[in-house]
Each structure stands twice: as structure tokens, then as C-alpha cells.
Amino acid sequence: MTQYAIRRALTIVPVLLGVSILVFSFVHMIPGDPALAMLGERATPEKVAEVRQRLGLDRPIYQQYIIYLGKVVQGDFGISIVRGDPVAKDLLRRFPATVELATSAILLALLFGIPIGIVSAVWRNSWMDSASRVWALVGVSMPIFWLGVMLAWFFGVQLGWLPTGFRLDSATEYRPWTNFVVLDALLNGSWGVVRDALRHLLLPAIALATIPLAVIARMTRASMLEVLSREYIRTAEAKGLPQVSVILRHALGNALLPVMTVVGLQVGRLLAGAILTETIFSWPGIGLWVYEAIGSRDYAIVQGASLFIAVIFVTVNLVTDLLYAVADPRIKYD
């Protein structure tokens, strides 16, 4: 197991190297001179040349890449072209907001997705099954951007129940410690801040959870249906075990393995979805930061954040792989 874990972890290196080449090339392949995009209508040829030199864009692309990679290895993701701040520092400062949102979304998706999948499978072809399948289809097809805007308009503007954006109200006093607002407030026992933070978290988390929820519900249903048709389930039922026990203890445990894979993959989608959700809800995480950086062509931020997200993505998939062994003792890694 340990050997497998190390071997598996080492495969991350070429993957990340590939990602870094891809990200670097894509960003540089976007048509148009970033210096010109930054200067806009007021650009003069001298100014453009000066900015190109300042950004190192006048060097051959392979040189730019080698310099970049050398720095990344040392944890230096470069300096923001627009703001002049170190990218790595800003990444770490914004990361907790994204993690808080993504974690809430995945929890919501699990909390509702798995029960919906179970109900759907157990009462197959009932109205509940049809409703949940329709809901799952709608959820998967729903554009996050549209859903986010609708949620904010309905609950924020029409009903006035929840805020339309941000992590906290402007008037809420909060001293960051870990930058996980809910966690900090809980540790401080500031219940007012906890409530305010949760109110702000709810709508973006729902928007972000919609697709994973639908996917998890569908996967749970399919997996449960397969398990429920197995002979050991029939044996358990024949033994006269209560249905709840059969479903939750015997069926669900075995049905969860494929669901775990899906959850692992959804984490990547959550990070991508966060760009839209954070923009709609002015959520100060990595997504909003990247969105603004793309607009201002801040190469350093786009590259740094993409690479960082790739690291998270492959790490989560590695952890998911390793967790298989915990979930299913029959799995052995040699």
C-alpha cells in the first residue's frame, strides 16, 4: 500500500509538468499582445515596447517558460503583472474562501444527492424516482451562471431573505485568523458572525452544488440498483432483516465505491465552477481572482492559479484512489 501510494504520488510529477507546459502555451497562444490589451486605446508604440520588456515578453517563449518553471519549483509563482504582488501569497490568502465554498457545496451535494439516489433506486419507477431523475437531468444541464443569477434575484432581491453576494456583511466585525470565516467565527464563539457567514454561504453553495448533486444522485441510483439486485441482498431480505438495515448497511456500503470516484472527479468541476459562482456572488476566492486576471491579462495569476488548481485536482484524485482501500478491504495494491 505504502509503495503504491509513493508510486502513485510520483506519477503526479509528469502530469504537473505537462499541465505547466499546457497552461504556459495556452496563455501565450491567446491572440493579441498583452501589453496592448493592458494599455488599451491609449497605447503608443514606445509604451507597448516598454511594457513588453518589463513583462519579459520580448524573450523567446522557451526562455520565458524555463525561467518560469525554475521559479515555480521554488514556490515562486511570479509577480502579478497588474498589481505587483507575489502570486503565491495571494493564492494562499484567497484559497480558504474557495475551499470553504467548495466544501459546503460538496457537503450539500452529498447530503441531498445520496438520499435522493437511494430513494430513487428503492422505489424504482415510482413518482419519486421519476421526479428525482427529472431533477437530476435538470441539475446537470443547468448553467451555473444562470442559476446563480436567478437564486440571487429570487432570494436576495425579491424575497430579501439572503444576501446577493460576499462572505460577510460590511458592518460585520471579523478578524481573520485561518481565513476560513465559519471556522474562525466558531473558534471565537462569535455566533453572530457564524450566522452571517452561513447566510452568505448558502446561495453560492447551492449554485455550486447543483451539478454535483445531480451527478451523485444519478450515480447513487445506478449503483444502488445494481447492488440491490445482488443475491446477498436477497439473502438479507430473506433472513427477515428490516428493510432500512438492508438498504443502509448492506446495500449502501457496497454501492458507495463508484460514488466516491464521482465525488473525487466532481472536486475538479467544483474548482472550475467556482470561477463562475464566485464571480456571480462576489465571493473573494481564487475563481473571482482568476476571472479578473483573465480580463486584465495578468499572465502570472492565470498561470499560477491554473497550476495550483491542477495540483489540487490530481491530489484529490490520488486521495480518492487511496481511499478505495479503506472503503473496500478487498482492494489490494501491489
Partner 1 sequence: MRFGRVILVVAAALLLGSAAPALAQTFVFGAQGEPVQFDPAVITDGISSRIIRQVYDTLYQFKAGSTEVEPALAEKADVSADGKVWTLQLRRNVKFHDGEPLDANAVVWNIERWMKTSHPQHANQLKAGQTFEYFEGQFGGFDDKSIIAKVEAASSHTVRITLKQPQAPFLQNLAMFPFGIASPKAVEKWGTDYGKHPVGTGAYKFVEWKPNQEVVLEPNPDYWETKAKNKRVVVRNIKDNSQRLAALKAGEVHAMEGVNPDDVRVIRADPNLQVLLRPTNTTGYVAFNYKVKEFQKKEVRQAIAHAINKKAIVDALYGGTGLVASQFQPPPLWGHNKELKDFEYSPSKAQDLMKQAGFGQGLSQITWEDGKQEPLSFWYMPVSRPYYPNPKEIAEAMAADLGKVGIKVQLQTVEWAVYLDKRKNGQLPLYMLGWTGDNGDPDNFVCYFFCNPGAAREGFYSNKPLADLLLRAATLTTQSERARLYRQAEQMIHDDVARVFIANNQPPLGFSKKVKGYVPSPLGDERFNTVEVQ
The residue ranges that bind partner 1 (CB under 8 A) are 30-34, 36-37, 40-43, 45, 47, 50, 54, 79, 81-84, 90, 93-94, 149, 152-153, 156-157, 160-167, 169-172, 195-196, 198-199, 202, 279-282, 284-285, 288-289, 291-292, 295, 297
Report the alpha-carbon distance of residue 73 to residue 310 in Å, rounded: 15
Q: Reduced to 3 states, what is the DSSP secondary structure of residue 137?
A: helix
Taking the least distance from each CB to partner 1, the nearer of 41 and 231 is: 41
CB of 60 to partner 1, least distance (A): 20
Cβ neighbours for 133, distance < 8 A, ≥ 6 positions apart = 120, 218, 221
Which residue, 163 or 212, has its beta carbon nearer to partner 1? 163
CB of 265 to partner 1, least distance (A): 27
Question: Could you please report the per-residue DSSP string of 60-94?
Answer: -HHHHHHHHHHHHHTT---B-TTT--BHHHHHHHH
Closer CB to partner 1, residue 172 or residue 261?
A: 172
Q: Which residues are paired to 80 by β-bridges?
A: none
How remote is the C-alpha of 276 from its chain's centroid?
11
Task: Give the shortest CB-210-to-partner 1 separation in angstroms.
Answer: 17
Write the Ramachandran bin of 75: left for phi over 0, alpha for psi from -120 to 50, otherwise beta: left
Closest approach of Cβ 236 to partner 1, in Å? 24
The set of cell numbers assigned to 180 is 476560513
Grid cell, residue 147, equals 442559476
CA distance 156 to 39: 37
Shortest distance, position 36 Cβ to partner 1, whole Å = 5
Least distance to partner 1 from the beta carbon of 10, Å? 36
- The three three-digit cell numbers of residue 271, written as one number: 474548482
Instruction: Compare residues 238 and 244 and give the one whose CB is closer to partner 1.
Output: 244
Q: How many residues in the chain?
A: 334
Q: What angle do CA 91, 215, 264 make, to 5 degrees?
A: 45
Sign of the Cα pseudo-torsion (102, 104, 108, 111, in order): positive
Per the rule left: phi > 0, alpha: psi between -120 and 50, beta: everything else, 301 is: alpha
Shortest distance in whole angstroms from residue 332 CB to partner 1: 36
Q: In the complex with partner 1, which residue's Cβ is closer, 81 or 259? A: 81
Nearer to partner 1, 8 or 199 (CB): 199
Q: Which is nearer to partner 1, 58 or 169 (CB)?
A: 169
